[in-house]
């Protein structure tokens, strides 16, 4: 069964549990992050057939700088290798890659790889894959406010709300479904503005264990939730979707 929404949905994922998964296997935490790459690949490959148009994954939060320097360096190294090795495959599969978050503190070699991958995939339209690196939702909202003040000066709260929404979501839309793996039920400063109306899905699965079938289950549950947007019950998420049997 293929599921498709007219415009496609925006799914955001907090990929949690790499460290615990690795520790349980008697491996180093870094081995957990490496295993997390395979889960990223599986998720990216499953997403388009499920009607996912935008996928935003949390690879490194601005709070993650507090981790030991060696773990931080390893995460950056792993992301850099992913971009270098997978860029061509992403492009062939129609994936447009974009990195969100601060760019002034990440290593130069990673930055170069990000810029290359963004350039190489800029025209692709099957899936918009956004990787959050050195990302903080509060910081992104604060930056948007400062930028708006620079352009528009003093504006009403209502106008400010609409301009910030435009700045943060013009290219990707609001988050429809936010998934967090690893058993915790927190938002961890992730896409706070963009997720104002998101459906939340928490799973005990550790990120390296996350399979295409887990994404199917999350999207399936999303389809069966009633989305009210503060109004009276009208639509189930599923009624916005078209289901078709795969050939
Ligand atoms: C959270 O698990 C995970 C991270 C902070 C890093 C996520 C990075 C990857 C999955 C690497 C691959 C990413 C890309 C974009 C290719 P944790 O270490 O906090 O786990 P724990 O809660 O069990 O300690």
Asked whether the predicted pLDDT for residue 235 surpasses 70, the reply is no
Q: Residue 161 in 3-state DSSP?
A: helix
Residue 242's pLDDT is: 45
Q: What confidence tier does 236 reach under pLDDT thresholds 50, 70, 90? A: low
Interval between CA 230 and ligand 1 midpoint (Å): 34
pLDDT single digits (tens) 58-90: 999 999 999 999 999 999 999 999 999 999 999
Pocket of ligand 1 (CB under 6 A): 15-20, 33, 36-37, 40, 57, 59, 64, 75, 78-79, 82, 131, 182, 207
Lowest-confidence range among 89-103, 115-129, 177-191, 228-242? 228-242
d(C-alpha 196, C-alpha 166), whole Å: 14
Q: How far is the CA of 33 from the centre of ligand 1 (A)?
A: 5
The span from the CA of 74 to the CA of 70, in Å, is 6
Q: What is the pLDDT of residue 237?
A: 62
Which atom of ligand 1 lies closest to the CA of 23? 23
- 50-69 burial string, b = 16+ CB within 10 Å, else e? bbbbbbbbbbbbbebeeeee
Protein residue with its CA nearest to atom 1 in ligand 1: 16
Average pLDDT over residues 188-216: 98
Average pLDDT over residues 165-187: 97
Q: How far is the CA of 59 from the centre of ligand 1 (A)?
A: 6
Report, as residue numbers or ranges, the catalytic residues: 16, 64
Task: Report percent pLDDT > 90 for the chain.
Answer: 84
Contact present, 178 and 201 (Cβ < 8 Å)? yes
Domains of the chain: 9-246 (3.40.1180.10)
Its pTM stands at 0.92
pLDDT at site 247? 35
Number of the ligand 1 atom closest to the C-alpha atom of 131:
15
64 Cα nearest atom in ligand 1: 5
- At residue 232 the predicted structure's pLDDT band, cuts being 50, 70 and 90, is confident
- Could you tell me the distance, in angstroms and rounded to a whole number, from the CA of residue 196 to the centre of ligand 1? 24
Q: How does pLDDT run across 43-54, given as a tens digit for each residue?
A: 999 999 999 999
Residue 26 CA to residue 39 CA, distance in Å, equals 19
Query: Where does the pLDDT of residue 6 fall: very low under 50, low under 70, confident under 90, or very high at 90 and above?
Result: low
pLDDT of residue 229: 79
Of ligand 1's listed atoms, the one at least distance from the Cα of 29 is: 18
pLDDT the model gives residue 4: 40
What proportion of the chain, given as a percentage, has pLDDT over 70? 91
């Amino acid at each position: 069964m293929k599921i498709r929404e007219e415009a496609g949905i925006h799914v955001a994922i907090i990929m949690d549990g790499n460290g615990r998964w690795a520790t349980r296997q008697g491996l180093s935490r870094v081995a957990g992050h490496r295993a997390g790459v395979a889960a990223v690949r599986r998720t990216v490959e499953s997403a388009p057939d499920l009607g996912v148009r935008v996928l935003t994954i949390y690879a490194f939060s601005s709070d993650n700088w507090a981790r030991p320097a060696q773990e931080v360096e390893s995460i950056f190294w792993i992301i850099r290798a992913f971009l270098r090795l997978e860029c061509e495959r992403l492009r062939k599969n129609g994936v447009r890659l974009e990195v969100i978050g601060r760019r002034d503190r990440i290593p130069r070699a990673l930055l170069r790889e990000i810029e290359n991958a963004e350039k190489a995939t800029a025209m692709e339209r099957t899936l918009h894959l956004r990787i959050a690196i050195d990302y903080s939702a509060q910081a992104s909202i604060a930056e948007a406010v400062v930028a708006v003040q620079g352009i528009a000066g003093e504006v009403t709260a209502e106008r400010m709300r609409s301009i910030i929404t435009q700045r943060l979501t013009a290219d990707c839309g609001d988050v429809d479904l936010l998934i967090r793996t690893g058993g915790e039920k927190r938002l961890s400063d992730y896409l706070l503005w963009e997720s104002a109306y998101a459906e939340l899905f928490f799973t005990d699965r550790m990120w390296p264990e996350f399979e295409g079938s887990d994404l199917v289950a999350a999207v399936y549950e999303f389809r069966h939730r009633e989305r009210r947007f503060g109004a009276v019950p009208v639509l189930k998420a599923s009624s916005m979707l078209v289901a078709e049997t795969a050939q």
